[in-house]
Amino acid sequence: MSRDVQAEIQDTLDKNPVLLFMKGSPSFPQCGFSAQVAYILSELNVEYVGVDVLSDPEVREGIKEFSAWPTIPQLYIKGEFIGGCDIVKDLFESGELRTKAVDSGVISTES
Amino acid sequence: MGLKTIDERLRLAFPDAEITLRDLTGTEDHVEAHITSVAFVGVSPVERHRMVYKALGELMKGPIHALALHTHVPEHNKESLS
């Protein structure tokens, strides 16, 4: 039976409030853009799950179709596509990413 | 493929745009782009990037390895955003 990558991606999104499709892993990113987003998430103290697209070519292509977005990394919060590296950086710098994370309940406001 | 091709594609899609391209590595495949266009007024960042990716088409599938993308609206359109 052939694999339904789109359904798999949806399922993974349903199970993980903050999901980062990236090259490499959160502790060993293998691309500068993925590393920047991983860094931002750790700066915000957001718990997230990283999906390494390099280890799964079908997901690597599938997520591009799923999000209608041709590049990696891709950040999702509560199933909502937030953007790639440039957008995440802009939202972080403007404070909007923190606000979104707090509003979504994926970040602790205590520090 | 070169910066010229990228520039042409973008001008076709965003005729009014002010476009600045920078070759980040000297190899013309890691590119930083600043695009200012009225087409972006009232459009979310995600949709703006999708518009640009669509304009670049197959260039995003190999010829351009990395694109740092910054979209802006013209100064005189800014007040209509909020």
Could you read off the pLDDT of A65-84 as tens digits, one per residue?
999 999 999 999 999 999 99
Say which range, A58-67, A83-92, B34-43, B56-65, has the weakest mean pLDDT. Answer: B56-65
Which domain CATH number covers B31?
Answer: 3.30.300.90
**pTM (two decimals):** 0.90
Least CA distance to B64: which residue of chain A? A71
- Per-residue pLDDT of chain A (111 residues), as tens digits, is 688 999 999 999 999 999 999 999 999 999 999 999 999 999 999 999 999 999 999 999 999 999 999 999 999 999 999 999 999 999 999 999 999 999 999 986 655
Q: Distance of CA B77 to CAs B36, B39, B47, B73, B81, Å?
A: 11, 10, 18, 6, 7
CB contact under 8 A, A84 and B60: no
Substitution target from B47, B49, B50, B58 for chain A, most A beta carbons within 10 A = B49
| Largest Cα span, chain B | 40
Domain encompassing residue B39: 3-81
CB contact under 8 A, B46 and A90: no
Burial B63-73 (b: 16+ CB within 10 A, else e): ebebbbbbbeb
Q: Does B45 touch chain A (CB under 8 A)?
A: yes
Q: Which residue of A70, A84, A86 is in closest CB contact with B70?
A: A86
Q: Which residue of A70, A86, A91 is in closest CB contact with B61?
A: A70
Residue closest to A69 by CA, chosen among A52, A56, A86, A55: A86
Substitution target from B67, B71, B72, B81 for chain A, most A beta carbons within 10 A = B67
Instruction: State which fold the A5-103 domain adopts.
Output: Glutaredoxin (3.40.30)
Q: Does A39 touch chain B (CB under 8 A)?
A: no
Q: Which residue of B46, B66, B68 is in closest CB contact with A83?
A: B46
Q: What is the domain count for chain B? A: 1
CB contact under 8 A, B49 and A86: yes
Question: Whole-angstrom Cα distance, residue B39 to residue B74?
Answer: 10
